[in-house]
Amino acid sequence: MSAGVELAEMVDAELVVDSAALTSANATGRPLVDHNTVLRPGEKIPTAANGPRYTERDLYVSEETAQALDEAGDDESGPRGTAMHGFRKWCAKEGRIAVPCTTATYTEYSRHLMARKLKVTTIRNYMSLIRTSMPVGKQPDNSLYLHLLKDYRAKNKRASRKKQAFPITLPYLVAMMSAAEADDRPIGWRDSAMFAFGYRFLGRRIEDADLDIEDLTVLDDRIVVWLLKDKTHQEEEQTLILHDRLDLRLVARMRRWLGHLAAQGIASGPLFRHLLKDGTVASTETRQKTATVRGDYLRGHTVNERVQFWFQKAGLVTDGRPVSAQGLRAGGATDLAENGATDEELEEAGRWAKGSPIPRRVYVRPAQKKKRDPFAKVPMYGRTPTNQGEAQAVSQVALLLE
């Protein structure tokens, strides 16, 4: 074998069971290099003989660790679960291996999503979630898929259009909560508390649904929330203070809902739960057919459905933008922006990443444009001129129209 061929063969380490196997394995002297190897002048190329000599002891975990890994399960809930479910289903149909997938399979699936005419942002989110779901070191190359996506975006302009959720600002929110509470039933208590909290918390729907009762401390004029992590703070816990307002009545609504849970002996665990028609909290066992991997926690999709239901029941209409649970977050951010909140204040309130362009691009700028109309400088046609300049302008227009 030539030196060039030997260098192309990359070996990380070798498993040895006994000395005989070790001698046999190292006899080839295969180079232990990859594209990151850096050698000093005169330094010999390392071979398998220089590398670590693993034994079975290095490969096995204990019974306790194995059990902990089984209990942890796969992190395929929420958006990741949705993306991987579709990908696994497609791979099974196509006779391809889903995990770990090849670059060819990954690229072909991206073309499948494009053939369905999905939005560019949807495709990008799905492909990113699928890629990061692969085992460490076995993620597919995404360069070919990104090349296809660039061409897809250029040829499908409508697919690039992203419709923001309709902002559920205070007038809409209060109407929805009133509709939910009109019948004075537990499901209305839950939903109105969830809506008031979602608006003030500026949370993503899954963040609302993932909260436990223990994460909240309800005081007379505020709610203190302990948040282990969110989308932009994966390794940083936060303590948030949500001050109450007379129009939200956040504390009263939350206490009524927590009181309903306490009456059924529930003082810990998921904050927002499924209910039966009679108002009884539905456990995983009583929900048999509808139970999911989330157990007693509401699904993000369920929060979405409740927002849409009460929006319609309240007789509200939109400007064409879709109604969703994201509207609670968008509504709070919009109200802040339209009432003078700065980029930094919005960034902190909504827990966006530091320097994120979203607060300014999605909320602050539109709010500023809404208040600023350059055509307001143009005199109203047919109105009596208030000065000589306006009079001359109106006369000139009249002559042109004759």
Which residues are bridge partners to 217 per DSSP? 224
Within 13 Å of residue 250, how many CA atoms lie on the same side as its CB?
23
Dmax over CA atoms of the chain, in Å, equals: 107
CA distance 91 to 49: 40
Task: Tell me phi and psi for residue 14, to 5 degrees.
Answer: -130, 140
Q: Are 64 and 26 in contact (CB under 8 A)?
A: no
Digit-by-digit pLDDT tens for the chain (402 residues) are 444 444 434 344 444 444 444 344 444 467 778 788 888 998 888 887 777 777 888 889 899 998 887 777 655 555 777 889 999 999 999 999 999 999 999 999 999 999 998 888 889 999 999 999 998 889 999 999 999 999 998 888 766 566 678 889 999 999 999 999 998 999 999 999 999 999 998 888 888 888 999 999 999 999 999 887 665 556 667 788 899 999 999 999 999 999 999 999 999 999 999 999 888 888 755 555 444 557 788 888 889 999 999 999 999 998 888 899 988 988 888 888 888 888 888 888 877 777 777 777 777 767 777 777 777 788 877 666 556 665 565 565 555 555
DSSP 223: E
| 118-137 burial: b if 16+ Cβ within 10 Å, else e | bbbeebbbbbebbbebbeee
CA distance 28 to 336: 69
pLDDT at 87: 95
CA 125 to chain centre: 9
Q: How far is CA 154 from CA 121, 127, 147, 185, in A?
A: 14, 19, 11, 51
pLDDT at 26: 43
CA distance 271 to 268: 8
Which residues are bridge partners to 243 per DSSP? 222
Q: Are 239 and 224 in contact (CB under 8 A)?
A: yes
Of 325, 322, 331, 301, nearest in space to 172 by CA? 331
DSSP 383: S
Handedness of CA 59, 63, 64, 65 (dihedral sign): positive
Of 356, 366, 359, nearest in space to 342 by CA? 359
DSSP 228: S
DSSP 56: G
Q: Are 310 and 178 in contact (CB under 8 A)?
A: no
CA distance 256 to 262: 10
Structural domains present in the chain? 3-58 (no CATH), 70-160 (1.10.150.130), 170-290+300-366 (1.10.443.10), 377-402 (no CATH)
pTM of the shown model: 0.61
Helix (H, G, I), strand (E, B) or coil at 218: strand
pLDDT at 338: 86
Kindly calculate the radius of gyration of the chain based on its CA atoms and give it in whole angstroms: 30
pLDDT at 69: 79
| Placement of tokens 């992203």 in the chain | 162
